[in-house]
Chains A and B, each alone.
Chain A
Amino acid sequence: MTTSNKLEVKNLSKNFERKISLSSLSFIIKQGEKIAIIGPSGAGKTTLFNLFTGSLPFEEGSVDIDGHPLEYWKRKKQLANKIGVIRQQFDLVDSLPVIHNVLAGRLKDWGFFKSVWSLIYPQEKQIAFNALKRVGIEDKIFARTSTLSGGEQQRVALARLLVQKPEIILADEPVSSLDPARSEDILTMLTKLADEENQTLITTLHSVEFAKKYFTRIIALKNGKLFFDLPAEKVTTEELTNLYRLKELSP
């Protein structure tokens, strides 16, 4: 097992009904890297994440985590310890109080009865409280999730990730439904938390500006292909213009 190669993607391809969604992607991500994946809509960013979480099967290529294929971690029921996800729509259960949404990050280690009992009498309350304190909303611990604002809900999702403690965080457009000030706030927190826990962070983003500001490496996708893969400071304006250009002018 090579400790430095956290996530290794080799010749990964995915087709949807004859349409190529991802073609032959390869890259290596090391432990503790902070990566932004950018690219125009439809470039395959979300598809890539769905392949990483195992919610979509892929036809060709391989995805290895810590030197073992996804399937291996899935079989060992360890995938949730390796990979955690945070999405643009937060995907929280609105009708539950915040504490249960946070403690959902513990479900992987809980048995059935503990899970049932916790709904009535919350278990491991201290863990949830600490996580919420780190994201700054510990006073909302018993509030109903649906009563929270968008920014607060995103913090709840972050607190869940803190409780889940995955080694790799996949953040799928984590700030696209927030205003610029709140986006910066969440991104600062996300990168800070990932640093503190020495986690690997992979984020898809619409905003190039944010990508350059908060991340160390930028991977650009276009039409399912790798467009560039560069350290953040080396990305040039010209490359970005090419990335987002609608169509080539000459046939």
Chain B
Amino acid sequence: MMHDIIDSFDRRKRFYINLLLILIFLWSLTAINWNEDLVHPGGGVMIIQILKSILQPNLSFEIIQIALESTWITVVYAVAGMTLAILYGSIAGVLASGILTNNRILKKVSVGIFRGILSFTRAIHELVWAWLFVASFGLSPYAAIFALAIPYGGILGRILADALNDVPKQPIQALKLAGASNWKCLFYGYLPFVWNHMLSYTLYRFECAIRSSTIMSFVGLGGLGYQIQLSLADLKFDEVWTFLFFLILLVVIVDLWSGLLRNSNNSKFSAHALLRYFSIDRLSIYIFTLLVCTSWYYVIFVQQASLLKLFSSENAQYALKFFTGLLGLNEVQPAFLNFDYWKTAIGLTWETLLMSVMAIGIATIVTLLTVIPAARNFANGTLTASSSFWQWLSFGIIRIAYIFSRAVPELIWAMLIVFLLQPGLLPGALALALHNFGILGKLCAEVIEEMDHKPVRNLSTAGANKAQMLLYGVLPMVMPKFLSYIFYRWEVIMRTTIVVGFIGAGGLGQEFKLSMSFFHYSEITLLLFCYLILVFIADFFSEWFRKAAK
């Protein structure tokens, strides 16, 4: 027949790409020294103890009270951070889309500058921002709030800019012909188009903000994470579970809320005018406004955090010292001019990269193994025309595992894992994988739920059995979307590797923590530089692979 080599490569392109990805993952595993030294002596006993106490969380009045209080603080920081993030994101996002000006040069400048700012602010993980803020102005709720607002605003702004650029051109042109200015076009043309999408995305980021706010405690700012850390240090696992259950509950509530919102936006026909008045959209906005007001009230009046105090002369001194430290002005040879330290930093960068590949690889494997029974249309039989009690049971179990996995932040997974494993790349990768498998699983299960059933049904009438229907129907149809989600999570994991490094998972994060503790600020500059390079490389490759896989 008619195949030359190029043709044969071209039609197997996706196969080769997949093979390459699998090989990269397997090779990343070789970075670990697989022997019994990986596990703590007695680590197994500890893990059993931790798992046993899952069934007996501490529900004493005292602990519940602490849990409620710290849940509230977690929510307050998340809400306050989100308010600022929305402000920053909407302003920078509109400017980064370049829709406010007709002047070509001005547009290019505005888009270039603001896209740059947005990508820089979102490249650095919120916990790193928090640490930088604490180091420069000391412990204050504002450190947590700003640390959340900056990267979250960066992400919201980027998504808003992309959404604005994707708005169809004709309706905007029509508005312009009707005499609307750029500003009027923004409010009457662009914003109505992107509103629903942005609302549901913002709610999703709010869910993430709650998790992030939880781990702010790691740099000494209160909240649920702080309590979890304290109880872990005292080995009071029953209390740890109580706090974790509160966190999970919180995440589930926000998740349900955003699910309701999505559904109400999808259904075009609202039943009754009165019902529409109290629609979930409106209600959501009321609730969010109420939350914003109470949160800021709490920060300003109850915690008495004064923004002005941040700018005291004492803080100015600290900040000055920190920034001159970062620039290495008071050192003879700052770390970023030291050849040996460069070598160390590059070695650590490499390790961090390996850790991220391992993490996404493990998360992907577990997701692929579980995702099909986790899809609702598989459980109820619409996909393969057969349903059973066992399908429903496995659906329930896997979905609960997903919720559990993604509700607990990476950092807390890492804190638990280091009880079992010696510090190193493996616990870091496992913690990242544990958190991401729940997210990846949920995203991928939704892909299966939304796919077109007919081709799969047709395979069944052609005599395919269940496994063959999955192989020839479901997998080829969902794989491109799965891959793009996998890469998207890999980008996120790359940003987060530094965070699990803080608790001894190796890589750049661990060194970052050490340098912070020894006040070696010029090292921090170099480490942050390497970290940013990694994040940008991850963004670039994921974009490239997504295109290649199409």
The answer to whether A116 has its CB under 8 Å from any CB of chain B is yes
Q: Across the interface, which residues of B come within 8 angstroms of A97, CB to CB? A: 11
Knowing A115-B467, A115-B468, A115-B472 touch, does A107 contact B11 (C-beta < 8 A)?
Answer: no
Q: Across the interface, which residues of B come within 8 angstroms of A91, CB to CB? A: 454-455, 457-458
Asked whether A80 lies within 8 Å of B463 as measured between CB atoms, the reply is yes
Q: How many angstroms between the C-alpha atoms of A200 and B25 in the bound complex?
A: 52
Q: How many angstroms between the C-alpha atoms of A97 and B7 in the bound complex?
A: 13
Query: How far, in Å, is B430 (CB) from chain A's closest CB?
Result: 29
Interface of B is mostly: helix
Q: How many angstroms between the C-alpha atoms of A83 and B460 in the bound complex?
A: 11
Most buried by A among B11, B454, B472, B477: B472
Beta-carbon nearest neighbor of A144 in chain B = B11
Q: How many angstroms between the C-alpha atoms of A93 and B477 in the bound complex?
A: 7
Beta-carbon nearest neighbor of A160 in chain B = B462
Q: How many angstroms between the C-alpha atoms of A164 and B463 in the bound complex?
A: 9
Knowing A91-B454, A142-B11, A160-B462 touch, does A107 contact B468 (C-beta < 8 A)?
Answer: yes
Asked whether A95 lies within 8 Å of B472 as measured between CB atoms, the reply is no
Within 8 A of B (CB), among A133-191: 139, 141-143, 160, 164
The answer to whether B332 has its CB under 8 Å from any CB of chain A is no
Q: Across the interface, which residues of B come within 8 angstroms of A77, CB to CB? A: 463
Q: Across the interface, which residues of A come within 8 angstroms of B1, CB to CB? A: 125, 129, 141
Knowing A97-B11, A142-B3, A160-B462 touch, does A104 contact B457 (C-beta < 8 A)?
Answer: no
Query: How far, in Å, is A247 (CB) from chain B's closest CB?
Result: 28
Knowing A92-B455, A93-B476 touch, does A80 contact B461 (C-beta < 8 A)?
Answer: yes
Q: Across the interface, which residues of B come within 8 angstroms of A129, CB to CB? A: 1
Asked whether B454 lies within 8 Å of A107 as measured between CB atoms, the reply is no
Query: How far, in Å, is A180 (CB) from chain B's closest CB?
Result: 25
Beta-carbon nearest neighbor of B1 in chain A = A129
Within 8 A of A (CB), among B10-29: 11, 15
The answer to whether A1 has its CB under 8 Å from any CB of chain B is no
Query: How far, in Å, is A126 (CB) from chain B's closest CB?
Result: 9
Q: How many angstroms between the C-alpha atoms of A105 and B455 in the bound complex?
A: 13
Query: How far, in Å, is A202 (CB) from chain B's closest CB?
Result: 14
Within 8 A of A (CB), among B449-483: 454-465, 467-468, 471-473, 476-477, 479-480
The answer to whether B2 has its CB under 8 Å from any CB of chain A is yes
Asked whether A115 lies within 8 Å of B454 as measured between CB atoms, the reply is no
Query: How far, in Å, is A87 (CB) from chain B's closest CB?
Result: 7
Query: How far, in Å, is A130 (CB) from chain B's closest CB?
Result: 12
The answer to whether B51 has its CB under 8 Å from any CB of chain A is no
The answer to whether B385 has its CB under 8 Å from any CB of chain A is yes
The answer to whether A84 has its CB under 8 Å from any CB of chain B is yes
Query: How far, in Å, is A175 (CB) from chain B's closest CB?
Result: 17
Q: Across the interface, which residues of A come within 8 angstroms of B458, CB to CB? A: 85, 87, 91-92
Q: How many angstroms between the C-alpha atoms of A55 and B458 in the bound complex?
A: 10
Knowing A87-B454, A89-B454, A115-B468 touch, does A107 contact B462 (C-beta < 8 A)?
Answer: yes
Asked whether A95 lies within 8 Å of B477 as measured between CB atoms, the reply is yes
Q: How many angstroms between the C-alpha atoms of A61 and B85 in the bound complex?
A: 65
Asked whether A83 lies within 8 Å of B461 as measured between CB atoms, the reply is yes
Query: How far, in Å, is A22 (CB) from chain B's closest CB?
Result: 19
Asked whether B471 lies within 8 Å of A115 as measured between CB atoms, the reply is yes
The answer to whether A108 has its CB under 8 Å from any CB of chain B is yes
Asked whether B462 lies within 8 Å of A84 as measured between CB atoms, the reply is yes
Contact with B along A86-103 (1 / 0, CB 8 A): 010101111111001000
Q: How many angstroms between the C-alpha atoms of A164 and B464 in the bound complex?
A: 11
Knowing A93-B477, A96-B476, A104-B472 touch, does A55 contact B461 (C-beta < 8 A)?
Answer: yes
Knowing A55-B385, A89-B454 touch, does A107 contact B464 (C-beta < 8 A)?
Answer: yes
* Selected contact of A104 from candidates B3, B11, B459, CB within 8 Å: B459
Asked whether A142 lies within 8 Å of B7 as measured between CB atoms, the reply is yes
Q: Across the interface, which residues of A come within 8 angstroms of B471, CB to CB? A: 115-116, 119
Asked whether A95 lies within 8 Å of B479 as measured between CB atoms, the reply is yes
Query: How far, in Å, is A92 (CB) from chain B's closest CB?
Result: 6
Q: Across the interface, which residues of A come within 8 angstroms of B464, CB to CB? A: 104, 107-108
Beta-carbon nearest neighbor of B7 in chain A = A142
Asked whether B459 lies within 8 Å of A139 as measured between CB atoms, the reply is no
Asked whether B477 lies within 8 Å of A139 as measured between CB atoms, the reply is no
Q: How many angstroms between the C-alpha atoms of A160 and B463 in the bound complex?
A: 12
Q: How many angstroms between the C-alpha atoms of A100 and B2 in the bound complex?
A: 17
Q: Across the interface, which residues of A come within 8 angstroms of B11, CB to CB? A: 97, 142-143
Beta-carbon nearest neighbor of A103 in chain B = B472
Asked whether B472 lies within 8 Å of A107 as measured between CB atoms, the reply is yes
Query: How far, in Å, is B4 (CB) from chain A's closest CB?
Result: 12
Beta-carbon nearest neighbor of A52 in chain B = B461
Q: Across the interface, which residues of A come within 8 angstroms of B455, CB to CB? A: 91-94
Knowing A116-B471, A142-B11 touch, does A107 contact B2 (C-beta < 8 A)?
Answer: no
Beta-carbon nearest neighbor of B481 in chain A = A95
The answer to whether A210 has its CB under 8 Å from any CB of chain B is no
The answer to whether A79 has its CB under 8 Å from any CB of chain B is yes
Most buried by A among B459, B463, B465, B468: B463
Interface residues of B, Cβ cutoff 8 Å to A: 1-3, 7, 11, 15, 385, 454-465, 467-468, 471-473, 476-477, 479-480
Given contacts A107-B463, A139-B2, 7 further A-B contacts (CB under 8 A): A92-B455, A93-B455, A95-B477, A107-B465, A112-B468, A115-B471, A120-B15
Identify 16 residue pairs between A and B in the complex whose beta-carbon atoms are under 8 Å apart, listed by A's number. Answer: A77-B463, A85-B458, A91-B455, A92-B458, A93-B456, A93-B459, A96-B472, A96-B476, A104-B472, A107-B463, A107-B465, A115-B468, A115-B472, A141-B1, A142-B11, A160-B462
Interface residues of A, Cβ cutoff 8 Å to B: 53, 55, 77, 79-81, 83-85, 87, 89, 91-97, 100, 104-105, 107-110, 112, 115-116, 119-120, 125, 129, 139, 141-143, 160, 164
